[in-house]
Structure 1
């Protein structure tokens, strides 16, 4: 499947500059990996990189009560009127990340798309390995249908690990015969096993791995919701995005694949430093306007 290519002369230089800034940030020498992870989770996003929340939508912090657990979420609304709802899932390799890290994207999408955005803090590994986060997404979609004012239309999307959870939740809903989201938006997703990365053993089960954890290995993707897929040209996970988009199209799922040339993984987390991130927020909002027009 040939992607739509989004390119701009500044993408490469902006990415180089940001990678240098990130490389120069101090780590946590002397701590074991889990202690370092706990400290990393407490770090607040730097507005000089992450940008600021769009002031136009109203926000509401809520606690979603699900069987056996409570999840924090933030709702972004432009109007109290019933609208389509987008459930959005942050990235962080299944072990980190927080809804506060991506407020430029979630608030901007809500402001420009005519949808209500629900940004979810799902459970993280290693404390809660697979399938905890996946079940959080699955059950929150059901909670939205039953408890949140909407017009009945729902999309699900996310970034990196969050995109994997969105894709897995769509597969799970299809296989259970339950209601499916109307659209899935997958931004640079991780959709296969990557045992060379540190978080792999913290999240995935050691034995049999379900296709809801690695959607790229599903026998068929037929019957899944129409998809918008975003990829990054300088991302080690680019092949996951391109392969999944091709599989979706092959199995009859309407799919739009957009690649941002010469930019990096997680570019939506750094919109103040990467103009590709700002462009992608506008593109996602426009895609939702079209999908729900």
Structure 2
């Protein structure tokens, strides 16, 4: 456990302030620019090739191991970036996506799904289903496709899989969710008990961005709050990674319990005293790389290649 690293990172994030501050109301464009600037500082491992592509009618980045070109890979990761459903892109999640690609040896397609407020719920969920359907139509077997994502994208791995199930599509091989947002009702105890411990997220900012995404929808909709109301029956094995310092801690805890109640294989992987989506900080935090190693092992165990 890297106590000094964790304490130093926590202090740095607090000095820099949350990605979206509670004391002002910047425009959506300003929030997007600030988030992109923060994420551009995250390392992208060497040994990957990045190509623009299209999946399910949406732009995407294909991130592949940088090896001699050969036959199409028999398995693939569908990656969904974070950003509260309002900010972010495949570029902002490139470090995480590439980290999984390097560790698993599997290519990934990171989806540029539609964002609020221009496209509120359920546009992004529909984009995930369309992307997964496109992969199946291309000939990928469901047992060779895994969903992975962080923060809001982590939540979309669950909501997208549920919507795909309800559309009659087969379940993917596995789901990996980093610090997922899974409760639009914001009723988890950790939203209050971890408010001071969380150096990155801010309740007022989360509520503002959530209002842009949810608009007039019922926040108890299973696709908005799967940790609260969803029937998770039929989902594939899940790995959920989260930190004890996160306001979203109870989103992960409650989802894991619902998954177990639905007879779904689930691993709840909790790391102490690290920030939201700590897996991004591989350059300054030993636990980040170690968590990605565990996620890669989980994927290799469940995805057919």
What TM-score results when the alignment is normalised by the length of structure 2?
A: 0.82
Task: Give me the whole-angstrom Cα distance separating, in 2, the residues matched to 1:30 and 1:93.
Answer: 17
Task: Give me the whole-angstrom Cα distance separating, in 1, the residues matched to 2:51 and 2:139.
Answer: 12
Match of 1:15 in 2: 9
Q: Secondary structure at the match of 2:244?
A: strand
Contact 2:227 2:251 in 1 (8 A): yes
Report how many aligned residue pairs link the two structures.
281
Contact 1:59 1:77 in 2 (8 A): no
Structure 2 residue 232 is matched with structure 1 residue 244: no
Structure 2 residue 153 is matched with structure 1 residue 165: no
Q: How does 1:135-214 map to 2 (within 5 A)?
A: 135-147=126-138, 153-194=144-185, 197-209=207-219, 210-214=221-225
Task: Give me the whole-angstrom Cα distance separating, in 2, the residues matched to 1:204 and 1:43.
Answer: 26
Q: Secondary structure at the match of 2:92?
A: helix
Task: Give me the whole-angstrom Cα distance separating, in 1, the residues matched to 2:20 and 2:264.
Answer: 44
Higher alpha-carbon deviation: 97-106 or 14-23: 14-23
Gaps of 5+ in 2: 187-202
Task: Give me the whole-angstrom Cα distance separating, in 2, the residues matched to 1:35 and 1:61.
Answer: 23
Give how far 1:65 is off. 5.4
Task: Give me the whole-angstrom Cα distance separating, in 2, the residues matched to 1:254 and 1:30.
Answer: 42
Match of 2:63 in 1: 75
Higher alpha-carbon deviation: 38-47 or 249-258: 38-47
Q: How does 1:108-147 map to 2 (within 5 A)?
A: 108-147=99-138
Call closer, same or farther: CA 1:25–1:228 in 2, change over 3 Å: closer
Q: Secondary structure at the match of 1:262?
A: coil
Call closer, same or farther: CA 1:35–1:186 in 2, change over 3 Å: closer
Match of 1:4 in 2: none
Match of 1:288 in 2: 299
Task: Give me the whole-angstrom Cα distance separating, in 2, the residues matched to 1:112 and 1:131.
Answer: 32
Contact 1:159 1:187 in 2 (8 A): yes
Deviations along 1:26-55, one digit per CA (max 9) or x if unpaired, are 98x9875334235336537343xx11x222
Give how far 1:99 is off. 1.7
Task: Give me the whole-angstrom Cα distance separating, in 2, the residues matched to 1:57 and 1:176.
Answer: 34
Higher alpha-carbon deviation: 145-154 or 100-109: 145-154
Gaps of 5+ in 1: 1-6
Call closer, same or farther: CA 1:273–1:8 in 2, change over 3 Å: closer
Deviations along 1:183-214, one digit per CA (max 9) or x if unpaired, are 01111111112565211110013143431122
Contact 1:249 1:255 in 2 (8 A): yes
Task: Give me the whole-angstrom Cα distance separating, in 2, the residues matched to 1:18 and 1:244.
Answer: 30
Higher alpha-carbon deviation: 217-226 or 121-130: 217-226
Higher alpha-carbon deviation: 144-153 or 195-204: 144-153
Call closer, same or farther: CA 1:136–1:151 in 2, change over 3 Å: closer
Q: Determine which of 214, 231, 235 is the counterpart of 1:220.
A: 231
Higher strand fraction (1 or 2):
1
Q: Secondary structure at the match of 1:45?
A: helix
Match of 2:200 in 1: none
Give how far 1:144 is off. 1.6
Task: Give me the whole-angstrom Cα distance separating, in 2, the residues matched to 1:185 and 1:243.
Answer: 16
Q: Determine which of 73, 83, 86 is the counterpart of 1:95.
A: 86
Give how far 1:91 is off. 0.6
Deviations along 1:70-109, one digit per CA (max 9) or x if unpaired, are 3232332455443321101111111111222222221121
Give how far 1:270 is off. 2.7
Call closer, same or farther: CA 1:141–1:10 in 2, change over 3 Å: farther
